[in-house]
Amino acid sequence: MNINEDGKFVPDGTKYISEDEYKGREDYALEPGDVLFNNTNSKELIGKTCLIETPVRGGFSNHMTRIRVNRDLCVPRFLALLLHSAWRKGQFMERATRWIGQAGINIKTLSDFQIPLPPLEVQKEIVAEIEGYQKVIDGARAVLDHYRPHISIHPDWPILELSEVIQEKPRNGYSGKPVDRVTKLKVLSLSATTSGRLDLTKCKYLDEDISRDSPYRCKKGDIYLQRGNTAELVGTAALFDVEEENYIYPDLMIRVRADERKILSQYLLVALQSEPVRAYLKRNATGAAGSMPKINQDIVGRIPLKLPPLATQRRIVAEIEGEQALVAGNRELIARFEKKIQATLARVWGGDETPPAAG
C-alpha cells in the first residue's frame, strides 16, 4: 500500500524492524532513483510502480521488486512512468501468475517485459513534460483538498439545536442487505459521502419492495450524515440534490430534513460541514477503543447551530456556491491534464499505450 494508484510513494502504514534485525541487510536500503515495482497484490493492483526520491533507511518487502537502471541508457522516472502506465492498461494482470485472491509477477517476467527506449535527452524531455502536467494536477488537488466553505458568524445570531430547525427527528437508514446484481432500487454507500459531496456513482443495490412513501426513500433536499466511520469521517454530511426517487439511504447514515421556513437545506449543509460542528461530532462520537466511532440521533439532534435570518442564509449560500463553482473547475482541470499525461505516454508507446509482447 506504500505505492498509491497515482504512482507515488506514500509512507503511511510503513512497518518497522529492530536495529538488530537490520544488521546484514543494509543493501535493502532504498536510494533516490530506485524504481519500486509491486510484484504481488490483488490482480487489479499488481504492477503499481513508483520512483523513490528520498533515501529510505530500511528495506522493502518481498511483495516489491527494486529496479536500478543503467543511467547511461535510462532515466529512472521515465521507467517508473512507463511501468505504471502499463499497469493502468492491465498489462501486468495479463502476464501475472494467479492464485486465490492474489497474483504475482516474477523477476523473469518483469525482465522480459519490453519498453520503448528513446535517447536520454528525449526521455528527459518527456519526463519534464509530464512533471509539468503533474504540477498542475497537484495544485488543483490541493485546492480541492483544502477548500472548506466558511460562514462568518455574527455574535447576534441565536444558537439553536438542530432538532429545532428540522421537519422531524433525525432518522437512521434502512438495514436491508444489498445484492450483487443491478436492480431498480439503489442504496447509498458510505464512500458516496466521504468527500462531503454526494457521489451517486458509488451505490449498491437492493432487491426488495420498498414503498414510495417509505421514510427510507431519499428525497431532494435531504442531508445524510455518516453514523459510523473513522474518527475523521464520522458525521460527514452530504446533500441529496437530485430529482430521483429510486434511492434508499443505509443504516450507517442518519437523515436530517431541513424545515425551510427556518433554515435552508444548502445553509444547513454548510453548517454541518463547518469546523465547529465537525469538532462537536468527533468529540461526542462513542465507541470502545479500537472500534468504529459512532454518532446517534440524539447527538445529531443536539448539534448547536448559529442561525441567521433566511435572507442572510440566502446571501451566504449564494456566495459559497460561487466559490464552489470556481473550486469545481479544478476537477475539470485535473481530468484534462491527466488526459495530457496519458496522451504523452501513448505517444511513447507508439500510439496506444499498449506495450509490445516480449519477443
pLDDT at residue 353 tops 80: no
pTM over 0.75: no
Reported as a single tens digit per residue, the pLDDT across 276-330 is 999 999 999 987 666 788 999 999 999 999 999 999 999 999 999 899 899 989 9
Question: Could you give the CA distance from residue 56 to residue 216 in angstroms, rounded to a whole number?
Answer: 51
CATH top-level class of 1-113: alpha beta
Chain centre distance of CA 105: 27
**Are the C-beta atoms of 344 and 134 separated by less than 8 Å?**
no
Reported as a single tens digit per residue, the pLDDT across 234-254 is 899 999 988 877 899 999 999
Q: 159-307 belongs to which homologous superfamily?
A: DNA methylase specificity domains (3.90.220.20)
pLDDT value for 289? 65
Question: Could you give the CA distance from residue 28 to residue 210 in angstroms, rounded to a whole number?
Answer: 58
> In the numeric block, which cell numbers belong to residue 8?
507515488
What are the sequence ranges of the domains in the chain?
1-113, 125-154+311-359, 159-307
pLDDT at residue 131 tops 60: yes
pLDDT value for 262? 96
Q: What percent of the chain has pLDDT over 70?
A: 96
**Are the C-beta atoms of 253 and 295 separated by less than 8 Å?**
no
pLDDT value for 118? 95
Over residues 128-157, the mean pLDDT reads 91
pLDDT value for 351? 56
Over residues 150-157, the mean pLDDT reads 89
Residue type, 181: R
pLDDT value for 38? 95
pLDDT at residue 196 tops 80: no
pLDDT at residue 160 tops 70: yes
Contacts 24+ apart (CB under 8 A), 312-316: 313/263, 313/264, 313/267, 314/264, 316/151, 316/267, 316/270
pLDDT value for 355? 46
Reported as a single tens digit per residue, the pLDDT across 17-55 is 899 999 999 999 999 999 999 999 988 899 999 999 999
pLDDT at residue 352 tops 60: no
